[in-house]
């Protein structure tokens, strides 16, 4: 995979993989597909079990992106792993709340909180 199409910045913190979104706006269907594939590969190809998704760069998120996150959650649970989301802006959090996805995902205010006890 070329680094030009990389939509996630990965960092290892102990046994936890932190995936930080590089895009401010996750709206484009093509990018969402790439992001989904990169997220799913963390589990399916790399066998990672503890993943934190860092939304600190993200200003806009489409509903199609939410679909990828739901699929990601299912894949992590199927692999007996843990997924946490962190640093979600209030206006994006509202979308999670309206769709009741804030109940599905383990969401933390910041990266430190997301890493704690994972």
The pLDDT of residue 4 is above 90: no
pLDDT tens track for 72-97: 999 999 999 999 999 999 999 999 99
User: Which structural domain, as residue segments, surrounds residue 92?
Assistant: 3-115
Tokens of 4: 């030009």
DSSP 5: G
* pTM of the predicted model as reported, rounded to 2 decimal places: 0.93
- Collapsed DSSP state (helix, strand, coil) of residue 12: strand
How many folded domains does the chain comprise? 1
**Rounded distance between C-alpha atoms, residue 27 and residue 23, angstroms:** 9
CATH classification of the domain holding 11 = 3.30.750.24
pLDDT tens track for 30-53: 999 999 999 999 999 999 999 999
Tokens of 81: 């792993």
- The closest alpha carbon to 81, from 57, 49, 55, 117, belongs to 49
The pLDDT of residue 1 is above 90: no
């Amino acid at each position: 995979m070329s680094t030009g199409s990389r939509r996630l910045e990965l960092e290892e913190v102990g046994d936890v993989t932190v995936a930080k979104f590089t895009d401010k706006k996750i709206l484009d269907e093509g990018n969402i597909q790439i992001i989904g594939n990169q997220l799913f590969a963390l589990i399916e190809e790399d066998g990672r079990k503890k993943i934190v998704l860092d939304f600190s760069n993200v200003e806009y998120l489409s509903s199609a992106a939410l679909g990828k996150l739901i699929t990601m959650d299912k894949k992590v649970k199927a692999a007996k792993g843990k997924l946490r989301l962190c640093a979600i802006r209030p206006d994006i959090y509202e979308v999670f709340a309206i769709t009741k996805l804030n109940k599905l995902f383990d969401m933390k205010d910041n990266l430190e909180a997301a890493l704690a006890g994972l």
